[in-house]
Amino acid sequence: MQFSSAFCQPCRATRRILADVAAMVPGVRHIEIDAEDHLDLMRALEIDRTPTVLVLDARGQVVRRAGGQPRKADVIAALGAAV
């Protein structure tokens, strides 16, 4: 799950990375949430910057969290904790 904002350059790169990984790994989906449209959710999850990426397991529990643009290898490694 990616939290993004409209004018965030790293958010665009993060979108590409996460979409690529989701296409490679069966059962993985990339969901992007506009931070400005979901401020209550941002506060509830204590997200204070974009991009922020949350990796959720099958039950919807956050197993990894990262702020800033991730590397593809780090995303793939984080998915290992979710499976």
Question: Residues 15-62: pLDDT tens digits?
Answer: 999 999 999 989 899 999 999 999 999 999 999 999 999 999 888 899
Domains in the chain: boundaries: 2-82
Tell me the whole-structure pTM to 2 decimals. 0.88
**Which residue, chain included where needed, has tokens 């780090």?**
74
**CATH top class, domain 2-82:** alpha beta
**Integer Cα distance of 80 and 83 in angstroms:** 6
**Integer Cα distance of 38 and 71 in angstroms:** 25
What's the burial of 48, exposed, middle or buried (CB within 10 Å: 0-12/13-18/19+)?
exposed
pLDDT at 82 over 90: no
